[in-house]
Structures are given as structure tokens and as C-alpha cells.
Structure 1
Amino acid sequence: MSLINVSNLTFAYEGSYDNIFEKVSFQLDTDWKLGFTGRNGRGKTTFLNLLLGKHEYSGKISASVGFDYFPFTVLNKEENTLDVVSGIVPDYAHWELMRELNLLRVSDDVLYRPFESLSNGEQTKVLLAALFLKENNFLLIDEPTNHLDMGARQLVSDYLRSKRGFILVSHDRAFLDNCVDHILSINRTNIEVQKGNFSDWRENKRRQDSFEQAENEKLKKDIKRLSEAAKRTSQWSDEVEKTKNGGKLDSGLKPEKGHVGRMAAKMMKRSKAIEHRQQSAIEEKSKLLKNIESADSLKIGQLVYHKSRLAELDRVSIYYGGKAACQDVSFTIEQGDRIALSGPNGSGKSSIIKLICGEDLRYTGTVRIGSQLRISYVSQDTSYLQGNLTDYARRAGIDESLFKAILRKLDFARVQFEKDMSSFSGGQKKKVLIARSLCEKAHLYIWDEPLNFIDVISRMQIEELLLEHEPTMLFVEHDREFCGNIATKAVEL
């Protein structure tokens, strides 16, 4: 066991006026299985890069261990997978690699195939196996779930639960709950460490937020009451002041001067005491609510279709070249359905979605799409996003004010509106696609892995939206909790 100490860490990117971190201090144990959470753009990947020494910063990070980052960059994907592993860990023992691959249920024949021929899930598992061959290093694992289907997520989560000594960035609640024993969270104004899994942290956060909100309401009432008391005291003081110049009290009697002096002194003392209590209450109030996450409710521009059935697939098979992406798929989409399209990677989920969206694919079977059906589509791919948000909204034909209002609710800072989308984080880019979809008036919303890279708070906002407005949806998503909460039907390929 050793410690990683972070003291007075302050960092901002060159040319930026905003600090990502400002004088933050905390301590980590290298034996912990640490889940790392926080809203998109708060600096999770930045912090990992600071540990790796990639940026200059002020403050101090001290550690007696080295760090390794996942995912590794594979420069030559045409190499055999065994050579890729050797390039990452030159001095590993072969039996140890086989042990790790066995735990991840990866067949050893993948080692003798070109790395580029492996599925995304297989590549992720091989690189994780290589990561855990490194000894005496603290491991920085950055969003390993984005290319894993639901079954693979459970497998990798079980694998990580058997390990220790890592920071894991993930927004999948069930995944984190299964395999971490501490949470490192980047809040709005600080970074904190707590023992327990994500659900433990979330419950503690809920209790703290509730306490602060109740305390805030109490202090608001105290400040109002003290302000009114101070006003009354000031009025009494003015009345007494008049009597010094020969005036009379409201009773019509003229008080003697010594009594006037004593009354004035007493009221002054009371006024000062009220002022002090009021200032203390204001200072206490200013310490509250700083880390409460805004999670305003969202809206969706759904349309009601004139028929109960929107689309139907009957024994559909889709082909690429001579190979079937999926075979004999049959299901219907009825008004109000929220259908989770599930299945392992490569089973044809995205192909089914593209076919329903009107893409020209080679298929057999029958596809019936309702006439004049308006579909809003969110794709997996965000790599094409570039330029500013104003131009993007104009090209998409959506209301710019509504679009930006939704992004604000999804925790976009106003400064982001001036930036080029190509500089956005993966989660921020996905939020752009979701915000656009929410602005589009449609009968059917088709979302292909919409939650990749998106932070937990935003996931829960989106869940609440879908449960409140109940749009007709077809979606692919590997977040087990999201699917369980949202889907009214499941179609498994």
C-alpha cells in the first residue's frame, strides 16, 4: 500500500481564463478500486493526464508508483495481436497473458490474428489484459465500456472487481457499483473522495443536498426576520434621536436626557447584535448549495402519428457482401413503445436502425414504414461535428434558442457556445446530438447508443424526460439501468 497525495492542485489550459482545478487537495490509496465520476467537461481525463505528467500545473502531486493509461494507442493495427501486446508489455510472461485472457473469456486464437480484425469488444479486452500485466503501477482506466455490449460489460466489471489499484472513469451506474470500493467525484467547486460504490456516493450526495437545501431555506427565513428586526430598531432609534432636540415620544411625554442616552445606547447595541447575526447567517448561507448539480427537466418535440402502428419488420435479413448482418428479424413499433434493441456486438442492431431510417441496404423480408412518418435519429458517430453551435442549429433546421437552452440544462457552460464543436469532449458531442433530437418534432425517435461518454447526472435527466413524456422510441443502449428503467419492450437479436 502507498499513497498518492494531491496538494493545492491548480490547472488551466493555455489560453484559457478558466481554471479546470483550483487549489484542490486530496489523498488516494493505491490499493483502492476507485470509481471516477463527474459531469462532462469537468476534467476527469485532464486529471488523468496530469498524473501522467502530460501538462504543467501548480501545486503538488506526489506518488511512489508509476501510472499507466487505458486505452493504449495502437499505432500499427495491422500487426498480429500478440505483437501489439508485446509492444505494450515487452517483458510479460505468456502464461500470465493467457490467464488474463481466460478471465475475460477471450479465445487465445485472437493473438494470432491482425489486431484490426478483432471486434471493438475484443480489442478492449485484449488491451485490458495487457494493462493488468504491468506490475507495480497504478492504472488509469478511461471509459472502457463504450464499445462493450451488455454481456461484455458485466464480464469486464466482474474482472475489475477481482483487481485492485486503479482509477476507473465510467458513467455506467451498474458497472461502477459492481467493481469499485471508493468514489472520486469532481463536483462543481471541489473534488472529494468517499468510501463505497456509486450508489453509496449518490445516496450520500442526495442527503447532503437535501440538508443544504433545508438549511438554506431556514437561513433565508432568518435573514428576512433579522432584516425586519433591524428595520424596526432603526425606526425606534430615529424616534429616540428626535427627543434629544426637545421632541416628545409618541406618548406625548418628554423624557429626561439621561434616560434618552441609555435608551439610545441600548438600541445601538441591539442593532449591532442583529447586524452581526444577520451577517453570520448570510455567510453560512453562502457556503451552501455550491455543489448541488442543476438537473432541470427537459422537454421533447414529439408528434402524434395518425395510426397506432408506425413500422413493422417481417422476417428481415440484412446482407453486406455475401454475409448476413442479421437474419429473420420480426417486430412492430406501436404508438408509445419504447423498444430496447439488444444483442451482442455485431448482431446487426445498427443495421436494423439504418434500414428503418431509410438507408439503402440489401435485405430480404418485408419492411413497412408508415407514410409521412417523421423520424429523429441519433447516431453513434460524433466525429463529424465541427464548427459552432449556431451554424449547426441553422443547418439542422431547429430553433437555436431552444437548442442552447437544452444544452444549458445538460450542464453546458455558456463559454462552450463560442467554441468549435471539434474541441468538445466525447460526452459534450453526444449531448449536441441529443439536444438536436429533442428539438426535432418527430413521431419516432431512434437513438443508437445515445449515452456513450455522457455523465451520470445527464443520463438521469434524460431518463426522467423519457418517462414523463413517453415518446415512441427505438433505441440501442448497453447501460443496464437505463434500459431497465426506460424500455417497455425488448427485441433481442
Structure 2
Amino acid sequence: MQESSILSPMILNVSMLSKAYVGKTVLKDVSFHLEDKEKAAIVGINGSGKTTLLRCILGIEEADEGSIAFSKEKKMDYLAQQHADIETENEDYDTLSGGQKTRKRLEEILQEKPDLLILDEPTNHLDIGSIQWLEKVLKRYDGAVLLVSHDRYFLDRIVTKVIDLERGKVRMYQGNYSAYAEKKRQLREAEWKAFQNQQAEIKHQEAVIEKLKQFNREKSIKRAESREKMLLKVERLEKPEELENEMKLLFSPRESSGNDVLMAKELGKSYDGKRLFSHGTFSLQKGEHVALIGDNGTGKTTLLKILNGLVQADEGEFRLGSKVKIAYYDQEHAVLNMEKTLFDEIQDSYPDMNNTKVRNVLAAFLFTGDDVYKRIQDLSGGEQGRVSLAKLMLSDANFLILDEPTNHLDIQGKEVLEEAIRNYEGTVLYVSHDRYFINKTATRIIELFSNRFDNYIGNYDYYIEKKEDVRAYGDSLQKDKMPLEAIDPEEAQRLEEKESKRLDWESQKELSAKRRKWQNALQKAEEKIAKLEERKEELTASMEEVGSDVGRLMEIHREQEAIDKELEEQYAIWEESSLELENLE
């Protein structure tokens, strides 16, 4: 592999890069470029070669083929996932958290003002506040950025180019992550549609050829031969590769809970003299999907452990509603027995399952063959997470409590989990720093802020829009209130009832606005569908009148195709609106 200088504005050029390990191809003919001051992301499932590609660019590993060109007069720097190298150099780092190390190391790198900054999972271990700080830093940063990250919300706000690694090959997309995801979906659908259409046309031609041959007349045989020659000249499209390495995940409660799922009153907890939270009064209703957010150290995981009976609250109480069955996903996977094999972990937890069913479940979570006999302790964090999700799915619970469920999952795994939660009819309470995941799955957010619980009826974008107002209001209430011990019990109850009524009124106002929005969308979709269906019937009837006018028939056909396409869009809007209205009800 050779290295040479290139002219601005291109700061990095990777050309036809290939890399294999023990005969397994990791990168194949990878080519892309990065312009000066451009911010790009490398994305792909776990094991797709992202880290290998970064290591080749950094010169840590040698590619088998291809070239990497980087401007000689430019400077490159790198922020790795791990910080072990820093710890050995500076003892002050054995006292910092993972997030603090990331922030400190990045600040040191930025002081050097590199022209190209390479970041490998920079948001790992960071809380939401620190990630927002990082976003601001990178937006202001004047150099080029090349990063690997599973944080899709972060990618949406930072990058303008996505380099997609799939099966060792690369494809570039302009835009942020959401634009890339939509373009990739459209492209995959178009490839499948083109392949299926060609296959249908080939089968049709083959059937016509067979029919012509059966006529056994000179003219028909010649026509058959002519069609065969034309068919041989057709350039066959390759069948698009099936998506691999995708979990099969479905949450389905065995029985429904009552409408009141969880009622918490005046919960409080302190550790080592530090108050985490107090006056934790909130409730969850059947079907709600609630995200619990807050900075590191505010007590989110502690609250989940209290609700699971693993930790005692210092004050207050909570109770579960009728027929509520909890399943708990622990980010530290304490629910797993590290000494057991995957197979035994599932079978011992669900003894009614036979060997075939156990293997089928594990296969749905990407464990096949002898993998099922690996010990839990020998698995990676992501693999342990998949085992925990498998047990969660098998629980048939109607109330899921999840602590950082997207940790260690690649983007594809996160999307599978999102879909499973969106389709789940039970109640969910989860802690997550993944803002994209929260946006996709939460119908409500509770923020642990300033030792209190702030409530938002909406997803993460709604939280961002409203948080300053809600925090200001919460601060004013805290400022006006005397310490709880000094308040007369009757006065405290009166204040609580007043606040409860205000929140209830605001909730109803929000719900009414959302209901009007989706009702209007539903009505418009129904009206458009009716008109389109009516026009489609008119066109079908007119085809009989047109007769053999090929030009007019083609016009009608094109209009019918356009109508079918618009009908698909309107039915999708109708379905989404109906679902949203059902959820609101």
C-alpha cells in the first residue's frame, strides 16, 4: 500500500482498499474521500469492518491492497474508545469516570488543532449533557471529522456524509443519518422491486415461448426462437442479498394488566449523604412507554432497582396495579448466571421448552451451532445483551423495566428493539441516553433534575422544546416551598392537589392538540383515498371505450400507476393516523 499527498479541498482519499484475516474478507475494494472541513460517519453492523478501516487509515494496520492518501502538510489525531493508554501516563485519570476521561482527552486533542479528527464511539459513557457539549464542540470545530458511532441522534446533528459499510463493501450517502437511512431503505426496495419485476418478466417470456412452441407451426416456432434470443441478451440482475445478522424480537404480554400499572408516592433516596431524589410522586398507565432521563448520578438506575425490589427507598412507597407482571433488563446483566452456557441459561429459566425451541430462540438472537454452548462470561457485552433480551421476550410480561437496553447494540439491533417496543401493547419504563431511541419509542418522558421529577408528555424532540419552561416552573415551585418537614400536612396536601390539577389540565390540553392533529390527518387521507379510488374506477371503465388506441391505453396505464403510488402513501398516512389516535385514546 502506498501513501501520497493530495491537493485541497480533499484531505483524505481511500482507494480500492482490501483487508482479510485468515481468509475472511473484512474490507473489499473500499473507496471514499473526505474533503477539508467535512464531517462524515462510518456506519455498519458490528463486525462490518469499521474499526479495521479506521486502523488502516491511522496506519496501525496495513491493508492488503489499495491506497490511502492524506495531505502531508495536514495533521491527524485520534480519540479511541478505550483510555487505558491515558491511565498509565497520568494517575489523575484512575479518579475519572469513562465519560470524564473522554471529555478530558478530547479537550487535549482539540488544543493541538488537528486538520482531521478521527473519533471511535465518542459518545460511549457520556450522559446526555456531555453529548450535547460534544455536539457543540464538533459543530464549531474548523477541521474535518471522521467518526464511528451508534448514536443516531448525534449523527443527525453532526455529519453531512455517511459511509455505509456492508459485507466489506462501501457506499457513500450525502446528508445526515436520517437521510441516509431513508435513502438506503428506498434503494434496497428499488433493487428488490427491479429484481422481482425482471424475474416476473423472464417467467412471462418463458411461458410465451413455451406456448408458441406448443402451437408447432413454422411462424410460431420462429417467434419462439426470436424471443429466446432476446431473452438471452437480457442482462440479468443479481438477487439483492438478504439482510443478515438481524435479531427477531417480539414482546407479547400473556395477559393484560389493569389500567393503573404503577403508583409511586414521595419516593426518596440518598447514598453516602448525597441526596439523589426526593418527593418522587408519579404514576404509569397501561400502554405508556416512558423514558426516564437525567444526568449521570441522578439516581435513574437506583429508581429502577427500587421498583424491582432490589434496593430499598429511604422514604415513600410505591405499589403495582392489578395483574402487573414485571420483566427487568439490567444493563449489568446481573439477571444472567455467568457460569452457565447460553443453552442452560434459557432452558433453566424456561424448563418447559424443549431443546429445539431453546435452539430456535437462540437462533433468533443470532446464536447458532456450537455458539449455544459458550459460557455467558465468555460473551461480549453486546452478546450478553442479546441473551438478556431473549429472556425478556420469553417472560411474557406486561410491564417492561429496562436499564440502558441499547448499550452494546449496533444500529440494526437498536432498530429491531425500537420496532418491538413500538408494537408492544404493555407498559414500558426505561432508562436510556440514546436520544434517537427515545424519540422513536417514548410517549412520555420523566426527567430526574435537581433532585425532582419533571414530566413531559411527548418524545425527546418535545422535551428539548419544552425543558426550559418546565425547569423554570419547577425551580419556582421549589423556591416557594418550605422544607417538607416544616410544611403543615394539610397545606402540603393542598399544594400537591393544586399541582396535580395543573398538570392534569396541561396533559389534557396536549392530548387534545395531538388528537386534533391526527383526526385532521385521518380525515384528509380518507377524502383523498375516496377521490383516488373513484378516479381509478373511471379509468378502468374508460379502457373499454378506448379499444385498441395504444397511445391512450399507455396514458391510462401511467395514470393508474401514479394513482396506485399515491394510494399507497395515503393508506400509510391513514394507518399511522389511526394508530396514533388509538394510542391517544
* CA distance in 1: counterparts of 2:347 and 2:432, whole angstroms: 29
Note closer, same or farther for the CA distance 1:315–1:13 as it changes in structure 2 (3 Å cut).
farther
Name the structure 2 match of 1:194: 173
2:66 to 60, 65, 70: 60
Aligned position for 2:317: 366
Q: Summarize deviations over 1:331-382 as a string: whole Å, max 9, x none.
A: 2233222221111111000000111111144522213245885322112225
Residues 459, 71 of structure 1: alpha-carbon distance in 2 compared, 3 angstrom cutoff: closer
> Aligned-pair distance for 1:314?
1.4
Matched, 1:322 2:273: yes
What is the deviation of 1:198?
A: 1.2
1:232 to 208, 211, 236: 211
**Which amino acid in the other structure matches residue 115 of structure 1?**
Y
Change (3 A) 1:275 1:141: same
Shift of 1:128: 1.8
Deviation track 1:72-95 (CA, whole Å, cap 9, x = no partner) reads 52357598xxx46xxxxxxxxxxx
Q: What is the rounded CA distance, in whole Å, between the counterparts of 1:4 and 1:401 in structure 2?
A: 51
Q: Secondary structure at the match of 2:34?
A: strand
138, 144, 147: which one aligns with 1:160: 138
Aligned length in residues = 430
- The amino acid across from 1:68 in the alignment is Y
Q: 1:141/1:419 Cα in 2 relative to 1: closer, same or farther (>3 Å)?
A: farther
Deviations 1:86-124 (A, max 9, x none): xxxxxxxxxxxxxxxxxxxxxxxxxxxx43444443332
Of stretches 291-300 and 25-34 in structure 1, the one that deviates more from structure 2 is: 291-300
Say whether residues 1:339 and 2:290 are aligned partners: yes
- What TM-score do the two structures reach when normalised by structure 1? 0.75
Which digits, 9 at most, give the CA deviation of each residue in 1:240-294, with x for residues without a partner? 6xxxxxxxxxxxxxxxxxxx7xx699467426414404xx35x22x1x5237678
Q: Deviation at 1:447?
A: 0.7
Q: Partner of 1:146: helix, strand, or coil?
A: coil
Q: 1:8-47 maps to which residues of 2 (within 5 A)?
A: 8-14=16-22, 18-29=24-35, 31-47=37-53
1:71 corresponds to which of 55, 60, 81 = 81
Distance 1:128 1:189 in 2: 30
The residue aligned with 1:270 is 226
Question: Percent identity among equivalent residues?
Answer: 27
- The answer on 1:486 being equivalent to 2:486 is no
Q: Distance in 2 between matches of 1:377 and 1:327?
A: 23
| Residue 249 of structure 1: aligned partner | none
Does the 8 Å contact 1:67/1:140 carry over to 2? yes
Task: Report the CA distance shift for 1:306/1:174 in structure 2 as closer, same or farther (over 3 A).
Answer: closer
> Cα offset for 1:66?
4.6
Question: In the aligned structure 2, how far is the partner of 1:189 from the partner of 1:232?
Answer: 45
Query: Offset at 1:474?
Result: 0.9
Q: 1:295 to 1:50 in 2, by over 3 A?
A: same
Q: 403, 410, 413: which one pairs with 1:455?
A: 410
Equivalent-residue separation in structure 2 for 1:159 and 1:378 (angstroms): 34
Deviates more, 1:42-51 or 1:398-407: 398-407
**Separation in 2 of the partners of 1:72 and 1:270?**
65
Q: Does 1:207 align with 2:158?
A: no
User: For the residues of structure 2 that align with 1:388 and 1:18, how far apart are their CA atoms?
Assistant: 27
- Rate the CA distance shift 1:232–1:162 in 2: closer, same or farther, 3 A: same
> Aligned letter for 2:400?
Y
Distance 1:61 1:390, change over 3 A: farther
CA distance in 1, matches of 2:284, 2:329: 18
Q: 1:416 to 1:376 in 2, by over 3 A?
A: farther
Secondary structure of the structure 2 residue equivalent to 1:483 = helix
> Is the 1:70–1:128 contact (alpha carbons within 8 Å) kept by the matching residues of 2?
no
* AA aligned opposite 2:331: Q
- Could you state the TM-score of these two structures normalised by the residue count of structure 2? 0.65
Q: Distance in 1 between matches of 2:213 and 2:28?
A: 42
Alignment of structure 1 residues 341-360 onto 2, 5 Å: 341-360=292-311
Flag the 1:28–1:232 CA change in 2: closer, same or farther, 3 A. Answer: same
1:303 to 254, 279, 302: 254
- What secondary structure does 1:132 align onto? helix
Q: What is the distance in 2 between the residues matched to 1:131 and 1:428?
A: 32
Show CA shifts across 1:296-333 (max 9, x none): 87421323355433333211112323333322212223
Root mean square deviation of aligned Cα: 3.5
**Which aligned pairs between 1:373-388 and structure 2 lie closer than 5 A?**
373-381=324-332, 388=341
Q: Which amino acid aligns with 1:9?
A: L
1:432 is matched with 387
Summarize the Cα distance change of 1:382–1:182 in structure 2 as closer, same or farther, 3 Å threshold: farther
1:441 aligns with 2:396: yes
5+ residue gaps, structure 2, are 1-7, 449-585
Aligned AA (2:57): L
Structure 2 residue aligned with 1:108: none
Does the residue aligned with 1:176 lie in a helix, a strand or coil? helix
Question: Aligned to 1:184, what secondary structure does the other structure show?
Answer: strand
In the TM superposition, what are the counterparts of 1:77-156 in structure 2 within 5 Å?
77=87, 83=90, 114-136=92-114, 138-156=116-134
How many Å separate the matches in 2 of 1:27 and 1:415? 40
Would the alpha carbon gap of residues 459 and 359 (structure 1) be closer, same or farther in structure 2, given more than 3 Å must change? same
Where 2:301 maps in the other structure, the secondary structure is helix
Q: Is the 8 A contact 1:209 1:292 kept in 2?
A: no
